[in-house]
């Protein structure tokens, strides 16, 4: 089934460790996004990429980095995890960039930083 695959599904991590959340899509969408979901705050955009080779900062980019070497993959890296980065992370994609809506989401990666 076509769609977005995220890995890992869940992870417990010690503070200060480096972590990369993986995201792959097979829909040949141009744009990809990373959101974090926290209780009472909805979904907040971390970073986005309108097309392969380009990235941009979202609403809450600090402590996170991304890369977009090709159309299909959009990994999110926490260089040195902190407890406030405990959250559920969703990768999403859309056919066109500009964050214009109609996003397709992965199933999420639950990250706990101790």
Partner 1 sequence: GQQLNQSPQSMFIQEGEDVSMNCTSSSIFNTWLWYKQDPGEGPVLLIALYKAGELTSNGRLTAQFGITRKDSFLNISASIPSDVGIYFCAGRIQGAQKLVFGQGTRLTINP
Q: Which residues bind partner 1 (CB under 8 A)?
A: 4, 35, 40-45, 58-59, 90, 92, 98-108
Q: Which is nearer to partner 1, 14 or 101 (CB)?
A: 101
Q: What's the min distance (Å) between Cβ of 43 and partner 1?
A: 4
d(CA 1, CA 67): 25
Strands 109-113 vs 10-13: parallel, antiparallel or unpaired: parallel
Q: Which is nearer to partner 1, 15 or 41 (CB)?
A: 41
Strands 109-113 vs 87-94: parallel, antiparallel or unpaired: antiparallel
For the chain, how many residues are written? Answer: 114
Q: What's the min distance (Å) between Cβ of 112 and partner 1?
A: 15
Q: Which is nearer to partner 1, 43 or 52 (CB)?
A: 43
- C-beta of residue 74 within 8 angstroms of C-beta of residue 51: no
């Amino acid at each position: 089934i076509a769609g977005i695959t995220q890995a890992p599904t869940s992870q417990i991590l010690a503070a200060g460790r480096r972590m990369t959340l993986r995201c792959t899509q097979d829909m040949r969408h141009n744009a990809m996004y990373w959101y974090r979901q926290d209780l009472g705050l909805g979904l907040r955009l971390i970073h986005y990429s309108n097309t392969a080779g380009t990235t941009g900062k979202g609403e809450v980019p600090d402590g996170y980095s991304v890369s977009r070497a090709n159309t299909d993959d959009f990994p999110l890296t926490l260089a040195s995890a902190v407890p406030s980065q405990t959250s559920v992370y969703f990768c999403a994609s859309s056919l066109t960039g500009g964050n214009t809506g109609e996003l397709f989401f992965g199933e999420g990666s639950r990250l706990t930083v101790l």
